[in-house]
Every structure is written in structure tokens, then in C-alpha cells.
Amino acid sequence: EDQVTQSPEALRLQEGESSSLNCSYTVSGLRGLFWYRQDPGKGPEFLFTLYSAGEEKEKERLKATLTKKESFLHITAPKPEDSATYLCAVQASPPLVFGKGTRLSVIA
Amino acid sequence: DAGVIQSPRHEVTEMGQEVTLRCKPISGHDYLFWYRQTMMRGLELLIYFNNNVPIDDSGMPEDRFSAKMPNASFSTLKIQPSEPRDSAVYFCASSFGSGEGAASNYGYTFGSGTRLTVV
């Protein structure tokens, strides 16, 4: 059974304080690892897809990396508007299997 | 495109009543997914369709839940009778392709969800 575990459950950062979120996974035949952002009262919003170990993708202050067992979402010099829940998901065959997310709060 | 549209945004109902949630996917998307989100269990897949045909409904918790997709632009999720433990946020998502290949560059597009409260 495909499993996704995210840590920490919640993270509180000062503005400008860089950190990383972790997503560890167990899946047979990974076809993609997805990162989403979810704001309160809204649906998840797609950020990145990673396909193979060693791959990296960046978007503004976010950088996602992938190894054979886990993925990291690095947040550099975060701002209050980066506050959200970040979800990780894996796909071996449809559909996506999601982790429970990391709630990020960035304090000015 | 207006994105994935769900209605209603909020629903409060009494235990035992029938509840119908609605979803309009993005035009041209051939996959439609229904997920349920709770604090305890996160996002769980209930059922998904490909070209209007149900492919996997193993996530539907009980016979009280049913879903239909009569055409490419509309899907419903029905709960009858509803129970307090059904309280959650229900999301509909659509994609072009299953998320593999070129489609995975965009992932699934989610609606804003329906917050269901059963009292």
C-alpha cells in the first residue's frame, strides 16, 4: 500500500528564517511526487512534480528535491504570505495518494 | 476557464437526510476525482472517473455513498442517509490524463470544496 508521511505536522518560522519540510514515502513504482499548497478554505493548489531521484525544481522562495525515499521542500527567506499547509502526494497508478500536510506559519 | 466548480460551498444537514454535492470539472479534462479531507485522516480518495466511467470506488466508505458522472461536465456525490461522522470537506478535482506524462506537469486542479456538517 502506498504511504506518505509528512513532518513536521506544524512549523512556525520568523520572516526570513529558512527551513525545510519533509515528505517520506513508500510506493511501488513511483511515477511522480507532487507538492501542493493549500490555503484555509480553499482547495490544494499544484506547485511541483518530481520524477526521479536527484531532480530539483524551484519556484520563487520554494525548492523541491527528491531522493529514492523522501522529498524536501526548502523554503528560503520565507514571508508571511508563504503561510499555508503544504501537501505532498505520490503516484504509482492513479490516483494521487496524499500525506496529511505540514502547516506552515511565517511570523512578521 | 473558471476552474473546477463545486456547489454548495457549505452544507449543514440533520442526521438521516440526503445530501448531494455537485462538481463541474474543467472543460477538456478526462479524469475526475472525489476526495474527502478531515484533520484526522487528511485527504482520502473516494472515487474517480475516466471519460465519465467510474474506475475505482474502493474508497467509498459505505453503501450510503454513491457518485455519478452523467456527462463530461457534471458529477454528483450523494450521501443517503447522512451521519455525523460524514462531516468533512469534500473536494472534487479534475485532470487531463491521469497525472502521468505531460499531464503531470499540471497535476490535478481542485475545486474550493464543500464543507459538510451533519448534526
Interchain pair B109, A98: CB under 8 A:
no
Peptide bond into B70 cis (omega under 30): no
Interchain pair B110, A44: CB under 8 A:
yes
For the segment B21-35, the average pLDDT, to the nearest whole number, is 95
β-strand partners of A102: A86
Return the percentage of chain B with pLDDT > 70, whole number: 92
Instruction: Quote the CA–CA distance of B48 and B74 in Å, as a whole number.
Output: 13
β-strand partners of B50: B31, B53
- Provide the pLDDT for residue B100: 56
Q: Are A94 and B32 in contact (CB under 8 A)?
A: no
Return the percentage of chain A with pLDDT > 90, whole number: 84
- Provide the pLDDT for residue B12: 98
Tens of pLDDT, residue by residue over A28-71, are: 888 889 999 999 999 999 999 998 999 999 999 999 999 999 99
Strand runs labelled E in B1-119? 5-7, 10-13, 19-24, 31-38, 42-50, 53-56, 65-71, 74-79, 88-95, 109-110, 114-118
pLDDT higher at B32 or B103: B32
Q: How far apart are the first and last CA of chain A?
A: 41
Q: Is A100 on the interface with B (CB under 8 A)?
A: yes
Q: Is the pLDDT of residue B98 over 80?
A: no
Tens of pLDDT, residue by residue over B32-88, are: 999 999 999 999 999 999 999 999 999 998 899 999 999 999 999 999 999 999 999
State the number of CA atoms in the 13 A half-sphere of B42 facing the CB. Answer: 20
Residue type at position A16? G
- Provide the pLDDT for residue B104: 58
Residues 42-71 (A) with a CB less than 8 A from some CB of B: 42-46, 49, 51
Q: Is the pLDDT of residue B9 over 90?
A: yes
